[in-house]
Structure 1
Amino acid sequence: MKAYVFPGQGAQFSGMGLDLYEKSPEAQELFNKANEILGFSITDIMFEGSAEDLKETKVTQPAVFLHSVILSKVGENFKPDMVAGHSLGEFSALVANGVLSFEDGLKLVSKRAQAMQKACELESSTMAAVLGLEDEMVESVCSETEGIVVAANYNCPGQLVISGAYDAVEKACENLKERGAKRAMILPVGGAFHSPLMEPARKDLAAAIENTQFNKPLCPIYQNVSTFAVNDPEEIKKNLVFQLTAPVKWTQSVQNMIKDGASEFIEVGPGKVLQGLVKKIDRSMNTSSAGLE
């Protein structure tokens, strides 16, 4: 069975999507429609902007979403048996498997990016990568550390990301190194994604999600919050709302996809980060990047 997976923020690169635009009239149409919906020329930033230009949350999230979704529409032989997306990538997966329309997906992603940006400005917060410790040890250190700091991304065994108030994350990094972490380093991100500090953004996004049409999926989606196959539009909605303040359980999602019969993972969008994580979760899996026809 083929599992298609969609990357999140951090996968962007300068020049992304230009090959799609140049080779496919359908891609051109979708990119032009995106410029209209967003009210600014995201294609200019994607095709010609610097890495710095692409780093702004309100640009990054729609850019990665557009690259993934348009590739799924114009790429070769897109026939998923199951899908999943890492954080932001969940929105790309939902458009690709028919739950959201292209327009609604992009509007929600834009709303999400703006809401997260606003939440980031309320308090000094950050995230940090932790390598070489068991999940339980990381969770335990976070719970013992004063202030808000939680496990935010379960990327693969031995690789977690923690998230929270700046001072608490810094302190947790010190404690984790003392407990034997190979590395515990602050990441260059705008704020504490997938932590309780995203609550204002969750409320903003919840209202937008409630007012959006969600259809029955063409194939199951394994969501970050629940990690199991979901087919019910109402359940998908609920999980999507909680995703902003809950951890991304990527390891568990991939393990469940494999348990349910996935034998090949195809990454749809910029970069190869998810292929690397899948290999670290199960070395025997076939992984590849989605290509153009």
Structure 2
Amino acid sequence: MKNLVLMFPGQGSQAVGMGCDLVAADPTMRATYAEASEVLGFDLKGLCSEGPMERLSRTDLTQPTLLAASVGMFRILERDGLRFDVAIGHSLGEFTALVATGAVAFEDALRVVRRRGQEMLRAAEANPGGMAAVLGLDDPVVEELCDGVDGVWPANFNSPGQVVVSGTRPALETLSERACAAGAKRVVRLPVSGAFHSPLIESALEPLREEFERVEWRTPDPAFFSGCTVRYEATGFGRLLQTQLVSPVRFSQSVKTLYEQGYDSFLEVGPGGVLTGLVKRIEPRAQTARVSDMETLQAVRDDGRYLEVM
């Protein structure tokens, strides 16, 4: 399919059982989980199948596990004839997008993402905070509200009327009150362990800089589109991924930009289906599909538009 954007989800899409039906049914998925388990030093399939959710949601475990699950699903599609033009990811999903475009080896990405989760957890413990989704306000209104409250920042511009903010707990309380007074439908606190994509986790940057410098980065092919800079990026991934940690994810702007450039089909690959729902709200005219389990994989195979006969 021409004009196809591949999308990879980030933290928050994890669930007990993710990828397990594909592991049981597909040798490519089994091989991917086995490879990841060897690199990471723990039983990935066991964690995904048994959880518990509390352990699966630990950011140092969530991140490499989600990466492996999404890469496994991508490898199945690639084997079956998938061709795409651009890859994007939501936060952590950018690492998966870089694997899919050949910019980084899967093994290197696993190691970096495991370290990323560990350092983010340390930073969050040193500077406690949280995140909240503000629903029903335009982006500029939320940005203005954040400017008026010390210790809170926009973190994810997800779709029209949905902006996630990060900050200290007192700042989030103040922001929530002011957002509701400004007409927000509601403000929902998210079950996360820190104020990600904000200056509160800056202490993670230096140890990760050294980790990123050890990675062999390559030019992506197909193209990689950054949700941090809202443009195509072909070099400087170590610096970009550092910046991404303390900068907002501009997913809504990224989808709009790609659609305006003629990319009208978006395929989400990975657990859940969050990004597919966001794209439908951002650009209702776009064609969307997802692969997150055996059922949705078969639907994409039956569709006939995404996979080329090899």
TM range (shorter): over 0.9
Structure 1 CA distance for aligned equivalents of residues 143 and 70 of structure 2: 32
TM-score, with structure 1 as normaliser: 0.95
Find 1:220's aligned residue among 199, 220, 223. 223
What is the 5 A alignment of 1:199-238? 199-230=202-233, 232-234=234-236, 236-238=237-239
Equivalent in 121, 136, 140 of residue 140 of structure 2: 136
Pairwise mapping of residues 224-263 of structure 1 onto structure 2 (< 5 A)? 224-230=227-233, 232-234=234-236, 236-263=237-264
Unaligned runs of 5+ in 2: 292-296, 302-310
Q: 1:164–1:192: 8 Å Cα contact kept in structure 2?
A: yes
List alignment gaps of at least 5 residues for structure 1.
none
* 2:74 aligned to which of 56, 66, 72: 72
237-246 or 21-30, which moves further after superposition?
21-30
2-structure distance, mates of 1:205, 1:78:
33
**How much identity, in percent, do the aligned residues show?**
40
Q: After alignment, is 22-31 or 263-272 more displaced?
A: 22-31
- Aligned residues of 2:142 and 2:179 also touching (Cα < 8 A): yes
Alignment partner, residue 277 of structure 2: 276
1:97 matched residue in structure 2: 101
Task: Please state whether the residue corresponding to 1:243 is helix, strand or coil.
Answer: helix
Bigger mean CA deviation after superposition, 136-145 or 26-35: 26-35
Change in 2 beyond 3 A, CA 1:78/1:205: farther
Instruction: Write the letter of the residue equivalent to 1:256.
Output: T
Please state how far the C-alpha of 1:13 moved relative to its aligned partner: 1.2
Partner amino acid, structure 2, of 1:80? F
Is 2:267 the partner of 1:266?
yes
* Residues 99 and 233 in structure 1, CA contact (< 8 A), matched pair in contact too: no
1:210 Cα deviation after fit: 1.4
Q: 1:32 aligns with which of 31, 34, 43?
A: 34
Report the number of matched residues: 290
Give the letter aligned to residue 217 of structure 1: P
Corresponding residue of 2:49:
47
Post-superposition CA distance 1:144-201 (Å, at most 9, x none):
11x3100000000110000011111111111111111111122111010000011111
Letter of the 2:169 partner, please give it: Y
Task: Confirm or deny: 8 A CA contact 1:170 1:186 kept in the other structure.
Answer: no
Offset of residue 205 of structure 1: 1.6
Match of 1:92, SS state, is helix
Given candidates 163, 166, 178, the residue that maps to 1:163 is: 166
Q: TM-score normalised to the size of structure 2?
A: 0.90
The 2-side partners of 1:93 and 1:202 are apart by 21
Q: What secondary structure sits across from 1:151 in the alignment? A: strand
Q: Give 1:221 deviation, angstroms.
A: 1.3
Q: Give 2:306's aligned residue.
A: none
Q: How far did 1:78 drift?
A: 2.3
Q: CA deviation at 1:203?
A: 2.0
Q: What root-mean-square deviation, in Å, do the aligned CA atoms of Structure 1 and Structure 2 show?
A: 1.3
> Distance between the aligned counterparts of 2:123 and 2:73, measured in 1?
31
Q: Is the 8 A contact 2:227 2:249 kept in 1?
A: yes
